[in-house]
Amino acid sequence: MSWQEDYKKKLVTPEEAVSVIKSGDRVCFVQGNEPQALGLALAARLGDVENVLLSLRTPGRDFGWYDPVFEMSFKIEVGFPLPIVRQIIAERRCDLAIGGLGFIFTEEDRGPADVVMVELSPPDEHGYCSFGASVWTKKTEVRRAKIALAEVNKNLIRTYGDNFIHVDEIDYFVEHTPSGKQPGGTDLLGRKSVEAGEAEKTIAGYVSTLVRDGDTLQVGVGSTSEWCCTLGTFENKVDLGWHSETTPRGIIPLIRAGVINGKRKNFNPNKAIATACGGGTKEDMDFVTMNPCFELHSAEYCLDVRNIALNDNMVAVNSAVSVDFAGQIAAESIGPRVISGAGGQTSFAIGSFLSKGGRSITVMPSTVGSGEKRFSRITPLLVEGTIVTVPRTISDYVITEYGIAHIKGKTQRERALELIGITHPDFRAGLKKEAEKLYWP
């Protein structure tokens, strides 16, 4: 049977596709855009199934099942806690996966999902479909699942790398290409378009002083870290490399301009490597489409600390919400209130630590809130219940708008003083007293 005949045989309606889902099944929506037609068809089975576990890796669309009425049919498990699910997390109406992308999201410990849903491009002349602008763990999860359902979206791009899967590895196809703004869609971090503040501009300038010609970069998702890609942080450098999880806006123009060319990379030289590329312009997407200088690979490949460390002078730039005097970096929660996920931050902190000449840079404004409810992000101790994303043993540089603290290799007392030096001046006296209570007799 030709792949064309196989594809035609597997082509069904959304309703027919989701009819394979039974009560008690575990259904995985892989990272990236959730298939819209399949999601709506499954939500329409409210009352028809019971105890179906929805494993939502990057929830970004509201198909209705965040409403309590859907609990009669569906249970929810969240991978990366994006804004759309923060309320149900706070209400404890869902479960939460634990860990970073470099260490979880495989099925080895739990067995295969009963059903996996994924968006794919139409097949090419050889019967291969693309995962579009993000690969994550999609190929692995499709291959391990008992049943794989694919929603074919003709708008998805193709890239070099490990960004393809053959028609014969999919059980059922549904054709659906959303037009215009997709209902229920959100920005990855739920952010509106805003201008960079003075704090972000100053922080970007400090980061630039730590980046050298020939460094290989990773920049994580985060309102502070991502500004480094658009505020000129890297523009005066030469021969930079790119090995990252995501590809924030501003990076593709640097590749086009030759600032990022990978010439000095030890691992995958002359190529920009990531598992996702999003947030760019149409010009950016056109540039990476089937361009040999840009490759998308699986999260398992990109976030493997052993691969990250293969590049000398690996520089990781990531945001945080809080750092304590010991150097524990929190990027996922404030106390027990979860606001984000680890993503690749832990992996890149470890990988840059192991890299010859590597540096791990944590960026954040010095304060949060305003008026009487303004607080220092650098604190003596993390709030009880706060999730630690990067342990103190591998923390390196911390930057606020008030300067750079280099805490790698420093003692408790030295770290406290370094960090207090980059806090907002209004809090320094009080924080110094707290440090004296903690670390001096």
For the annotated catalytic residues, the residue numbers are: 245
Which amino acid type is present at position 252? I
- Phi first, then psi, for residue 74 (nearest 5°) are -130, 140
10 Å Cβ neighbour count for 10? 17
Residue position matching structure tokens 């945001």:
319
Structure tokens at 296: 């998308």
Measured CA to CA, the distance from residue 46 to residue 36 in angstroms comes to: 16
Query: 91 with 99: CB under 8 angstroms?
Result: no
Alpha carbons within 13 angstroms on the beta-carbon side of residue 411 total 5
DSSP 8-state symbol, 390: B
CA angle centred on 195, ends 189 and 196, rounded to 5°: 85
Helices H / strands E in the chain, number of each: 13, 25
CA-CA distance, 318 to 64, in Å (whole number)?
A: 33
For residue 174, the SS3 value is strand
Is 74 in contact with 86 (CB distance < 8 Å)?
no
As a whole number of angstroms, the distance between CA 244 and CA 246 comes to 6
CB count, 10 Å around CB of 125?
A: 7
> For 45, which DSSP code?
T
Dihedrals φ, ψ of 20, to 5°?
A: -75, -15
198: helix, strand or coil: helix
Token couple for 417: 């003083």
Token couple for 432: 């110094």
